[in-house]
């Protein structure tokens, strides 16, 4: 199994990973093919594929923010069962992130992720790929150490139509398991930066950001 970075839409591997995304994720979660050009060329956005026998069988995209010493998992796709892909991708991703943190002279503080809550919203089949079932993914991420932030979370649709996407939790995996809360300003600043590429922000999202700005901290709860 190879762990290969993709940084151009001209890379043949990108077509394969984009097709895999469309097979697995709902439409509002998939950025159009041509709109990937700039993100892939951004050195802060890291897209890696798991390749076996010239086939893209897994994908992960994540970012490291040196100013905050945090990361964000954009998505992880396990395309086939029985290959230990989840562990392979999680291990390789953490090795890469820790090396980026070491370059800053620190240990990674932690990593954000948006996680579907299937107990609230049950209409995601994720292309029928059982390893991507929201119940399974939620438990796996819990085992990895993710905890949900104590807020009513929405995010802007990646279709950039101004709609709010609900049914998810914003979660955080702290490197120090004793971390019980995060500064609300950190969350607000991070989300504002992360979604700056989308012009059409839903009112629910804007209200959520304003509410965060009025808080000091946000608790980390069991997932």
What is the domain extent for residue 117? 2-221
Provide the domain count of the chain. 1
- Strand 70-78 relative to strand 110-116, pairing: parallel
CA 85 to chain centre: 16
CA 79 to chain centre: 16
CATH number at 144 reads 3.40.630.30
The answer to whether 158 and 30 have CB atoms below 8 angstroms apart is yes
Helix axes 203-213, 184-194, angle to 10 degrees: 150
Token pair for residue 166?
A: 């609900």
pLDDT tens digits, one per residue of 182-209: 999 999 999 999 999 888 899 999 999 9
Q: What does the DSSP 8-state code read for residue 6? A: -
88 φ/ψ angles, rounded to the nearest 5 degrees: -60, -50
pLDDT tens digits, one per residue of 102-134: 999 999 999 999 988 877 765 555 555 666 677
Alpha-carbon torsion angle 186, 175, 49, 133, nearest 10: -90
């Amino acid at each position: 199994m190879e762990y290969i970075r993709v940084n151009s839409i001209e890379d043949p591997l990108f077509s394969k990973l984009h097709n895999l995304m469309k097979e697995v994720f709902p439409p509002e979660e998939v950025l159009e093919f041509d709109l990937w050009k700039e993100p892939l060329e951004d050195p802060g956005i890291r897209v890696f594929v798991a390749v076996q026998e010239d086939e893209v069988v897994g994908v992960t995209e994540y970012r490291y923010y040196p100013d905050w010493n945090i990361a964000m998992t954009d998505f992880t796709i396990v395309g086939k069962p029985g290959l230990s892909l989840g562990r392979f991708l999680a291990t390789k991703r953490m090795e890469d992130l820790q090396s980026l943190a070491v370059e800053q002279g620190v240990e990674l503080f932690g990593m954000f992720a948006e996680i579907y809550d299937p107990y609230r919203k049950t209409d995601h089949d994720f292309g029928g790929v059982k390893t991507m079932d929201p119940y399974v993914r939620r438990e796996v991420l819990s085992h990895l150490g993710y905890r949900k932030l104590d807020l009513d979370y929405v995010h802007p649709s990646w279709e950039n139509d101004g709609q709010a996407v609900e049914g998810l939790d914003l979660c955080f995996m702290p490197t120090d398991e004793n971390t019980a809360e995060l500064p609300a300003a950190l969350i607000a600043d991070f989300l504002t930066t992360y979604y700056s590429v989308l012009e059409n922000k839903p009112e629910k999202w804007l209200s959520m950001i304003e509410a965060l700005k009025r808080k000091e901290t946000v608790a980390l709860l069991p997932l």
